[in-house]
Each structure stands twice: as structure tokens, then as C-alpha cells.
Amino acid sequence: MSDVVTREEFGEVVVLHIKTNSVDAISAAAIEAACVDMRPITVLNFKDVSFINSAGISVLLKFVVKARKAGYKLFAMNLSPHHQKIFKMVEMSRFMPTIEEHDLAAHR
């Protein structure tokens, strides 16, 4: 696991904390590397992310594909209002709905 993504597991849940502020072509490979060991509930935490472009969306879709194949649930957490807008524009939010931190409390 790189410094770009840190991992937190509890029960059926894994939270992948994206620690880079820019999800783009430069950080894509390091983020994709975190896609290898997902759990039945996988959450991507965007708290530290201030920028996502289409190259970033492409790498996030790799998580979507992998979750769908495994029958896992995939969520986005701490998305900024701007990124929520972008996710709606490309209909990403259909495949990676948002979740609140308190919704995870029952799994801890």
C-alpha cells in the first residue's frame, strides 16, 4: 500500500483513504494499486481530495468494475459539493453513491 492510499478495515468494510489532493493521470497508477483487495463494503474516502479529472474518473471506474464483478457495494465518502456535481454529470453517482461516516458506525 502506497502513501497515496491508506487502508482501514473493520468487519466487512474497507475504507480506502485517498491521501493525494489530485486524482488525475499522475496519481492514477498509485490509486489503482489499491484496487486489488476490496471487501463486501468498500468505501473511498475523498476527504483530502481537492481535484478529480476524467483521468481520475477512469481509475475510479476500475473500482466500480471490480466491485460489480465481485458483487460488492462501493461508496464514496466526503466528496466535495463540486465533485458531487461532477459525479452526477457523468452519472458516476449511480455506481458509487455517497455514504456518510456515521453510516459506517454500525460496522465498527
Binding site for another protein (CB under 8 A): 22, 24-26, 51, 53-55, 57-58, 61-62, 64-65, 68, 81-82, 86, 89-92, 94-95
Q: Which is nearer to another protein, 13 or 79 (CB)?
A: 79
CB 57 to another protein: min, Å? 6
CB 6 to another protein: min, Å? 22
Residue with grid cell 459539493, as numbered in its chain: 81
CB 8 to another protein: min, Å? 26
CA distance 66 to 107: 22
Q: Which is nearer to another protein, 30 or 61 (CB)?
A: 61
Q: Which is nearer to another protein, 94 or 107 (CB)?
A: 94
Task: Return the biggest CA–CA distance within the chain.
Answer: 36
CA distance 102 to 19: 20
| 72 Cα distance to chain centroid | 13
CB 108 to another protein: min, Å? 30
CA distance 44 to 53: 16
Q: Which three cell numbers stand for residue 104?
A: 459506517
